[in-house]
Chains A and B, each alone.
Chain A
């Protein structure tokens, strides 16, 4: 079935470092892809999305490009802040309009 695989965490970085969180997917057809973020004690919220191949989603300095040839949607940010510490979830939407999440990657940013 449709699925998402994320790199395991935690990812530990110093402030202003470059961030990459890898995400690959398996799906029938051409799903839309998403990154959600969960801050401590809160529910998930949409960070960015891309609906077709070569689209780039971006928000709050984060970016991800939909790569059909490598079935990937890696999350990047050029300079992380302490406030970016959270759990990041890659997700896709299936033909049954069901959102399928990866296992999440915890990011810890130290000053």
Chain B
């Protein structure tokens, strides 16, 4: 049963600490998206990749966030330094080569920054 796997599922950290979230996309999918979900802002697109190349990261605060795909089986989202306003659920999603709109989402990483 193919699925997108995200780790950690939950993370509590203190302000100023570095946070790294990881995503394993579905094998064979070559587009990967990072979304952030909060009650106030809803679902925000942070970044997305095709064939491991970043296509759009305009939704991401550049000074503290970075997203990479070191290989086809791993996408990472890093926050350094973290701030309380970064508290949210971060979702990774992957899709096939021709984007038909069907993205497969992971279960999310819930981040709390104290």
Contacts and interface: CB of A to CB of B under 8 A. Distances in A.
A and B found bound together: yes
Interface of A: 32, 34, 41-46, 49, 51, 89, 91, 93, 96-104
Contact of A43 (B31, B91, B99): B91
9 contacts: A42-B107, A44-B43, A49-B101, A98-B48, A99-B101, A99-B103, A100-B45, A101-B45, A104-B42
Interface in B53-81: 55-56
B64 to A, nearest CB: 23
Contacts of A98: 45, 48, 55-56
Interface of B: 4, 31, 33, 35, 42-43, 45, 48, 55-56, 91, 93, 99-108
A45 to B, nearest CB: 7
